[in-house]
Structure 1
Amino acid sequence: MDLRHTLRDNRGFLLFLLSFALLRTAVADWNPIPSGSMRPTLLEGDVVLVNRLAYDLKLPLTDVVLLHLGEPQRGDVVTFSSPAGGTRLIKRIVGLPGDRIAMRDDVVVLNGRPLAYRDAQTRGEAIAPGWVVDAVRQTETLDGRDHAVQLLPGLPARRNVAETTVPAGHYFVLGDNRDNSEDSRFIGTVPRERLIGRAHRVLVSADWLGEDGWRMAPRFGRWVSTVR
């Protein structure tokens, strides 16, 4: 009896919670960035707004696609469930179904043509508290869209990939921090049904990496900024 009264007295709040949960699982979500695999585009401490309706309408809490709403494009930054374990990851789509993808010394080769790179600059990059390495940042052009990528030449990494053809219904994804990213070079191509949505904006951001390994300093300049 008490439980029924409690549910009746709080039904408005419970309906709000249910609607909020459905919104997050079917329409829009936010994704905290825990690692540096998408530097310099996304930083640890960014919270990214994800449009779950960018590509597909799914049955809430499942990967069951009810309706196709749009097509993933090269250059889109997407969240997805990793085909190697189900971990939620965020990477950039580089290869579409049918594309031929290879990498030679960190240069992406798309359908037999190397991508264009420019404006390379070297700077120090903190890998961990007290550990700074040289990083090369440059602009990569993919389908006429520019975005920044980062290389870490002093670290061991998988910089060469033999040419592979992206299967139908799959996507080849890479992290923008090319020498520090678990992406399609390691986990394989991503099936469309595992795509969660397209990263749209950085909602808020805070720097939680410091000399002592912890601090919380808001990065106001990144708040409500577009993910490119």
Structure 2
Amino acid sequence: MKAFIKEWGLFTLIVIIIIISRWLIWSPVTVDGHSMDPTLQDKEHLIMYRTKDIQRFDIVVASEPDGSGKEKLIVKRVIGMPGDTIRFDNDILYVNDKQMDEPYLKEYLEAFAKDKLQDIYSYNAQFQARAQVSTAFTVDTNFQPSFTVTVPEGHYYLLGDDRIVSQDSRAVGSFAKENIKGKIVLRMWPLNRITRF
């Protein structure tokens, strides 16, 4: 018995620690769809850290009901914190009347200015059509390029990085703090795109 514990004790302890930490601290997540392109791509594998310490521009995992009432996990970026007034004016973000930079949008903003993303969206005719009728990269549900939202206390305003494609707080409203499961800290797959966030 002592020989078994000596040989397998450390290994068993490590396995137990990994299992407990997986349950309490972190969780694997898979990107489903194109709403976070190009930052995160469809089918990429991520690690979510379970925390309630959420900051503006964190990429988070949130839950919302799907069509059948079951929980669906989505990956989006935090744009508005509790109590914020968010305003978009022709692709410029203002938070509480202060202009904010969104460097993660640079590639798609340039592509929108060039050809309304027609080349990038060549894989999906529906995305191309939606981009064609958009007067800006970030529009509200009525395709208006200027809109203002006040985030309720205890809620977060979440948007996808691909604003043309993403179904997010513009359509479903803000997300309560209890619906934020954690934030993305690592892309672990594919190997050539491993990144810490």
Correspondence 1:204 to 2:189: yes
> Contact 1:102 / 1:110 at 8 angstroms: preserved in 2?
yes
Structure 2 residue aligned with 1:175: 160
* Aligned-partner Cα distance in 2 for 1:32–1:117: 24
User: Matched residue of 2:110: which SS?
Assistant: strand
> Contact 1:83 / 1:187 at 8 angstroms: preserved in 2?
no
From 189, 192, 195, give the equivalent of 1:221. Answer: 192
Correspondence 1:116 to 2:118: no
* Corresponding residue pairs, total: 163
Query: For residues 194 and 131 of structure 1, do their structure 2 counterparts lie closer, same or farther at Cα, with a shift above 3 Å needed?
Result: closer
Structure 2 residue aligned with 1:216: none
Normalized per residue, the structure richer in helix is 2
Normalized per residue, the structure richer in strand is 1
Structure 2 residue aligned with 1:125: 120
* Aligned-partner Cα distance in 1 for 2:85–2:153: 12
- Stretches of structure 1 that go unaligned for 5 or more consecutive residues are 1-12, 56-70, 135-151, 206-219
Alpha-carbon offset, residue 176 of structure 1: 0.6
Structure 2 residue aligned with 1:33: 31
Alpha-carbon offset, residue 109 of structure 1: 2.3
> Contact 2:127 / 2:164 at 8 angstroms: preserved in 1?
no
> Contact 2:63 / 2:180 at 8 angstroms: preserved in 1?
yes
Structure 1 residue aligned with 2:64: 82
* Aligned-partner Cα distance in 2 for 1:190–1:75: 15
User: Matched residue of 1:154: which SS?
Assistant: helix
1:154 aligned partner, one-letter code = Q
Alpha-carbon offset, residue 23 of structure 1: 4.2
Structure 1 residue aligned with 2:9: none
Alpha-carbon offset, residue 24 of structure 1: 3.7
From 78, 84, 91, give the equivalent of 2:76. Answer: 91
Alpha-carbon offset, residue 73 of structure 1: 0.6
Alpha-carbon offset, residue 103 of structure 1: 2.2
Structure 2 residue aligned with 1:154: 132
Query: For residues 185 and 130 of structure 1, do their structure 2 counterparts lie closer, same or farther at Cα, with a shift above 3 Å needed?
Result: closer
Query: For residues 77 and 179 of structure 1, do their structure 2 counterparts lie closer, same or farther at Cα, with a shift above 3 Å needed?
Result: same
More relative contact order, 1 or 2 (CA 8 Å, 6+ apart): 2
* Aligned-partner Cα distance in 2 for 1:190–1:129: 29
* Aligned-partner Cα distance in 2 for 1:185–1:172: 8
TM-score by length of 1: 0.61
Question: Identity percentage over the alignment?
Answer: 25
Deviations 1:155-202 (A, max 9, x none): 556354632221111111110111111111011111111111110111
> Contact 1:80 / 1:197 at 8 angstroms: preserved in 2?
yes
- Stretches of structure 2 that go unaligned for 5 or more consecutive residues are 1-11, 112-116
> Contact 2:127 / 2:165 at 8 angstroms: preserved in 1?
no
